[in-house]
Amino acid sequence: MSNTNPLQQYFRQPKIFISLPSKGLYYASGSFQGDYNNVPIMSMTGMDEILMKTPDALFNGEAAFKVIESCCPFVKNARQIPSTDVDTFLTAIRIATYGNILNISQDCKQCGAENDYEFDLQNTVTYFQNLRFINEIKIDDTLTISIRPLSYEQINYFGLENFKLQKTVAQAYNITDEEEKIRITDQVFADLSELQLALYLASIEQVKINNQIVTDQEHIYEWLKNMDRDVFNLIKSKLEANKSQWEISEQPVKCGQCEADNIIKPILDQTNFFV
């Protein structure tokens, strides 16, 4: 008796194929298996769509992890996807499920009239594919830092921790005891500073001093805590510049009422992007 499912011919098939901006780099061993230049993307299943509308699963990132693994057979562990590929995967899944066009409503910055625009998501995929991650920060002739993109799991962790701390700050302002308010806010700001250091540490692969390579995380952490502010600010600006260029591209539009120039830029917020 054959075990072949007679309904197999009706299983979903890849809708589009993409090339990864990372060029297959920065993946942990075994987390991605296949050709990074020809990655198949299938549409979401009904269960995937339900998952992407489940608040708890969205909040901790579990929904996105599972949906990416469901829609891309090459991805074996979505937690290890480098940040450079995350938005490409999410956009491609959105295209495979709902089509290229994302409808955006936006008020004109000039006259305030509400306009409805169409944003072509294929342009976003193309934009990301043409980017290159800058993986080196040269401090001077003797000191060079090699950096890497955060993994999707790290992005979710740092985002969640930052959200918790910001929420604690907001709640602290409602405390009537002034000393308690100061104590809590001081602790939160100290925790935010530590969180930023942890993010920078996770981004640094190694530090080269002349011909010596430093990879020990404790040594790099100690250096981050004790470095000159100018060096720290240089590292901060380079990391932020990298992050900024990997944001979704903008699209110029005109107001239908006053014809003023505007721009639209969708936010890949999973709570409304997959609807």
Same domain, 106 and 34: yes
What's the mean pLDDT in 223-250?
89
What are 263's strand-pairing partners?
252
At 270 the pLDDT is 57
Same domain, 124 and 156: no
At 247 the pLDDT is 84
Same domain, 238 and 253: no
Same domain, 120 and 92: yes
**pLDDT tens-digit map of 139-191:** 999 999 999 999 999 999 999 999 999 999 888 888 888 888 889 989 999 99
Cα–Cα dist 66/36, whole Å = 20
Q: Which residue has the tokens 């990879």?
A: 215
Does the structure show a pLDDT above 70 at 212? yes
**pLDDT tens-digit map of 127-138:** 999 999 999 999
Q: What separation in angstroms does the CA of 4 have from each of 8, 11, 15, 46?
A: 8, 13, 24, 23
At 14 the pLDDT is 95
Same domain, 183 and 257: no
Cα–Cα dist 165/171, whole Å = 10
Count of domains for the chain: 2
What is the token pair recorded at 113?
């009239």
Q: Beta-carbon neighbour count of residue 252 at 10 Å?
A: 8
Pairing of strands 143-147, 136-138: antiparallel
At 268 the pLDDT is 67
What's the mean pLDDT in 258-270?
83
**pLDDT tens-digit map of 51-75:** 888 877 777 788 899 999 999 999 9
Coil vs helix vs strand at 5: coil
**pTM for this entry:** 0.88
Q: Beta-carbon neighbour count of residue 134 at 10 Å?
A: 12
Domain of residue 176, residue span = 136-245
Give residue 5's pLDDT band: very low, low, confident or very high (50, 70, 90): confident
pLDDT above 70: percentage of residues in the chain: 96
Same domain, 16 and 124: yes
- Tell whether 4 is covered by a domain: no
Same domain, 117 and 140: no
Same domain, 179 and 265: no
- Tell whether 3 is covered by a domain: no
Cα–Cα dist 66/45, whole Å = 11
Going by C-alpha positions, the residue among 34, 19, 136 that lies closest to residue 84 is 19
Q: Which of 30-34, 111-115, 210-214, 245-249 has the lowest mean pLDDT?
A: 245-249
Beta-strand (E) ranges in 219-267?
Answer: 251-254, 261-264
